Structure 1
Amino acid sequence: MTKYGNKLSWAVGKKTVLCIGTTTIDFVSTIKHFPGENTHQQVIGGYWIRGGKASNNCTVLANLGVKVELLGVLSNWSVFQVLIDDLRARGIIIENCPRCDQGAPFSSVILCKATKTRNIVYCNNNFPYVSIEDFRKLDLNRYGWIHIRALYFDKSLPMVKDIEAYNATSKEKIVLSIYFDNNLDDMWPLMDYCDYAVFSKKLAQTNGWTSMEDACLQLDERLRMRWGLNLKRPYVVVLWGDQGAGFMDLDGNFTHAKPHKPRRIVDALGAGDTFMGTFIYALYIRERSLAVAVDFGNRMASYKCTRNGYDHIANILLPPIL
């Protein structure tokens, strides 16, 4: 298998990107029409893929030649070994991942061509999440960017506080990005620590957001209502599917980044994870502006949808054919 993490790229000389979260087994089936109750249907196609948001972010970054590490609990079950082998083959660092003897999380994904919908059934099995003790075994001097999904507040808060403490005494600061897609009220205190806060469209219904601009305006108001000393104001990005993304600078100014729709969608699974990985790449590795990074993330998420998986993303590193 190609060692995607060893590509000659703009990432030479950059510190490691750390993604904290989970990796899962995703079983993907494509069907013509969604089946009725108590019926059987032959799928058009199917495959399994290593999933999980942090795991996918790592795959995207590794494909772009970035030195990247996953921090997440890995299962010792033999069926899970194929995922570990895949992580290693791609050059994704997993040496600091804790292990357990519990069955790994998995998802059943059904892609329906008639309705162009994606249905996901997820099984976690109360699988453990990395602890602050696991995090504190890391040498933070090795990292230039850390990305966390806001999934468990009690576990994430000590980690972001440790990053803040490290940055207070270090000349080379770690950039922290956090992805929010559920339980915003519970996760909101994490906003005080991150440099970039990315929100999913999934949050819209539960928070009453009617558009990406409305979401940014409400988030801006909530940020301005905070009280305390030395509160950090993050850059904010709100993803809105096929409508693109909205983002705010540190003064709360809103900008709409238009979508780049592919002519033909083959596989939209993981488009949001592709945005996140390429967004980090543009900001950290290529040192581009927020506006350029959001536009690049939109373009790459669209390009991801034109094929299965993530490996074709590495095509942007190839010289054009003359």
Structure 2
Amino acid sequence: MSEYGNKLSWAVGKKTVLCVGTTTIDFVSTIRKFPVDNRSERAVGGYWIRGGNASNNCTVLANLGVKVEFFGMLSSLSVFQVLIDDLKARGIIIENCPSCDQEAPFASVILTKSTKTRNIVFCNSNFPYVGIEHFRKLDLGQYGWIHMRALFFENTMAMVKELMAYNAARQEKIVLSLEFDNSLEEMWPLMDYCDYAIFSKQLAQPNGWVSLEDACLQLDERLRMRWGLNLKRPYVVVLWGEEGAGFLDLDGNYTHVRPHKPKRIVDALGAGDTFVGAFIYGLYIRERSLPVAVDFGNRMASYKCTKNGYDHIANILLPPVL
């Protein structure tokens, strides 16, 4: 596990990265084949892990030596303490998180070896999400980059507009990236405000995207059809699993970035979250170009799959042993 400011870290002098979203308890079971109806299947392995997109992004960034803060709702119940302890143990800042007394959200994850598939059943139990009243308590001056998942539109839009008002009055702007993986129609107005928009392949079927390039071209067309004054055009990145990723620059030019396929997949859970964390690291911490940052995200997502969890990922930054 890397720490902020150690020899692996290039983040010295950089402001904190803030990741807005949720943290959950994930119960992961590995089985040989998926059970048929009314039959049980013995697991060949299992473990629990702290999950949630923003929570995972923080883990990746912390392992890469970045000063990072998680901003999401916590719970005062004892079962939630394992998540709080794990966040603190990794040096992830949580001091500005609000808290409630509700049961923690959790997910049941089934990894099937025979089909190399992953099934996730998520239980939210109406766990509250952070809102503008919590966001306004933050000292935005300490952040250089804020990443949000496009979730709960009214809450997210209010926080985004608060950030835009802050940026409008300052020369040094906070970079905003948004991750879209559901309800694109509802979340689309957020595109007018972000600097980087990251899309998941999960959106392909509901939006009629038949390929990676088609997804990018359809998004480009939709961006060009907007109307209004001073609309911001973000860089667009689309993740497409084994086909890698594609991105659009500010002029709508499409580029495909090839995948880096691991020789053996041990644990693909959180590969997309690893991409996002590594992408932010490449752009913000290392100040690399968009193509290099996307390629680094692909490499890191692939490398993450070679072992369980995230604690090995910083090893990719070490020089090879001769």
Q: CA deviation at 1:316?
A: 2.5
Counterpart of 1:317? 317
Specify every segment of 5 or more residues in structure 2 that has no aligned partner in the other structure, as ranges.
none
The answer to whether the 8 A contact 1:198-1:238 is kept is yes
The answer to whether the 8 A contact 1:3-1:91 is kept is no
Q: CA deviation at 1:319?
A: 3.3
Indicate yes or no: 2:169 matched with 1:169.
yes
Counterpart of 2:6? 7
Q: CA deviation at 1:42?
A: 1.6
Distance 2:164 2:246 in 1: 27
Counterpart of 1:184? 184
1:1-322 to 2 correspondences below 5 Å: 4-5=3-4, 7-8=6-7, 9-322=9-322
Q: CA deviation at 1:321?
A: 1.6
Once the two structures are superposed, what CA deviation does each residue of 1:105-145 show, in whole Å capped at 9, x if it has no partner? 00000000000000000000000000101000000100000
The answer to whether the 8 A contact 1:3-1:89 is kept is no
Once the two structures are superposed, what CA deviation does each residue of 1:191-234 show, in whole Å capped at 9, x if it has no partner? 00000000000000000000111111111111111111110000
The answer to whether the 8 A contact 2:5-2:12 is kept is no
Letter in 2 for 1:244: G
The answer to whether the 8 A contact 2:17-2:69 is kept is yes
Letter in 1 for 2:242: D
Distance 1:48 1:105 in 2: 13
Tell me the SS of whatever aligns to 1:252. coil
The answer to whether the 8 A contact 2:238-2:246 is kept is yes
Question: CA RMSD, aligned part only?
Answer: 0.9
Distance 2:66 2:171 in 1: 22
Distance 1:7 1:23 in 2: 26
Once the two structures are superposed, what CA deviation does each residue of 1:256-278 show, in whole Å capped at 9, x if it has no partner? 00001000000000000000000
The runs of at least 4 aligned residues of structure 1 exceeding 3 Å deviation read: 2-8
Distance 2:183 2:310 in 1: 28
Q: CA deviation at 1:5?
A: 4.2
Letter in 2 for 1:120: I
In the superposition, relative to structure 1, how do residues 159 and 225 fare at CA in structure 2: closer, same or farther (>3 Å)?
Answer: same
Distance 1:182 1:261 in 2: 26
Q: CA deviation at 1:158?
A: 1.1
Normalised TM-score (structure 2): 0.98
The answer to whether the 8 A contact 2:76-2:99 is kept is yes
Distance 2:47 2:168 in 1: 46
Normalised TM-score (structure 1): 0.98
Letter in 2 for 1:283: L
Tell me the SS of whatever aligns to 1:48. strand
Specify every segment of 5 or more residues in structure 1 that has no aligned partner in the other structure, as ranges.
none
Q: CA deviation at 1:6?
A: 5.3
Q: CA deviation at 1:85?
A: 0.5
Distance 1:152 1:29 in 2: 29
Once the two structures are superposed, what CA deviation does each residue of 1:161-216 show, in whole Å capped at 9, x if it has no partner? 11111111112110000000011110011000000000000000000000111111
Letter in 2 for 1:66: V
- How many residue pairs get aligned? The number is 321
Distance 2:181 2:248 in 1: 18
Tell me the SS of whatever aligns to 1:202. helix
